[in-house]
Amino acid sequence: MTNELVPSEEAGDSVPAVRREPMTFLADDGRVLAGNWFRPSEGPSGAVLLVPAMATPASFYGAFASWLAERGFLTLTFDYRGMGGPSEMRAEQGDMLRWAGDAASALQAMLEEAPAGLPVTWLGHSLGGQLLPFARHDLIDHALLVASGLGYYRWNTPRIRRVTPLLRVVAPMAIRVAGYYPGRRLRMLGDVPPNVMRQWARWCMSPKYYGIDVPDIVDRAREITLSMDSLTFTDDELLGERSHQALESLYAASRPNVRRVAPRDHGLQRIGHHGFFRARMRPLWDDLALPRLPTR
């Protein structure tokens, strides 16, 4: 296993390089999964698990993870099973609930690595925020949800409300032809394994969302009482405000601190569903993310 020095994107020599270290960890069914540690140059002041959005590879979060390490946070990024490209997706039999287990196992890997007493944050982007009830949330200190909401199609933006029902027709046909869901080619979502897409499309057609397969989801969520922030964006092109509110209501026992961010308030034309994690958004990270991450 090799370590890679990742230089800061900021100008000057005052910001140290961070160490990016490939790693593997075991899922609860024995499957070996891949991730990357982003380690501060000195002892960490906090730890962050970055839990990905649907159809979003861990590499997308590299700039943000490097920034977290620069700020003193031991950070772990990982991929859900089957996200290694078309051939891997075709062979993958796991579904959304299996992905939830992968996220829970990544948290266990983080907890085993983090020094005792180090505050641990679950930072869930979109789907990553939905998966908290499936993990040992009693062992973490904080949750930061970014652009997270429940996926029932009637709660989403007008464009998504029009497109989502088509997925019940388009997705099975596309999977039959390609062996996985080729969302990038279709310009509808991104590429994901077949059973992931089948289950997610079914969830999106019900106001119960994952409750149709997890009847006790409300009871599970009621047990989550940790400190929580929800950071959403007014120009999110996928999830509407009602979607965000539905997830925040599910986590009502935690009394989430909600922040709706308008791009114009920060001198920006656009942020969107994924934009917050892009390198050009570094000025926002200190303002919007850093104050919401606990340290010792």
Confidence class of residue 162 from pLDDT cuts 50, 70 and 90? confident
Nearest to 68 by CA among 291, 295, 290: 290
Nearest to 238 by CA among 145, 143, 146, 155: 155
* Spans of all domains in the chain: 4-158+214-292
> What is the predicted pLDDT for the residue at 12?
36
Element spanning 187, H or E: none
Tell me the average pLDDT of the chain. Answer: 93
> What is the predicted pLDDT for the residue at 8?
41
Of the candidate ranges 51-60, 154-163, 283-292, the one whose mean pLDDT is the lowest? 154-163
pTM score: 0.94
> What is the predicted pLDDT for the residue at 6?
45
Sheet holding 18-26, edge to edge: 4-6, 18-26, 32-39, 73-78, 46-51, 120-125, 142-146, 227-233, 257-261
Of the candidate ranges 16-20, 42-46, 179-183, the one whose mean pLDDT is the lowest? 16-20
Instruction: Write out pLDDT tens, residues 100-120.
Output: 999 999 999 999 999 999 999
Which one-letter DSSP state was computed for residue 189?
S
Percent of the chain with pLDDT over 90: 89
Q: Does residue 235 carry a pLDDT above 50?
A: yes
* CATH architecture group of domain 4-158+214-292: 3-Layer(aba) Sandwich (3.40)
Confidence class of residue 165 from pLDDT cuts 50, 70 and 90? confident
Q: Does residue 46 carry a pLDDT above 70?
A: yes
Answer for the pair 103, 80: CB distance below 8 angstroms, yes or no: yes
Q: What is the CA radius of gyration of the chain?
A: 18
Task: Tell me the three state secondary structure of residue 257.
Answer: strand
Instruction: Write out pLDDT tens, residues 8-23.
Output: 444 333 456 799 999 9
Q: What is the DSSP string of 54-105?
A: TT--GGGGHHHHHHHHHTTEEEEEE--TT-S-HHHHHH----HHHHHHHHHH
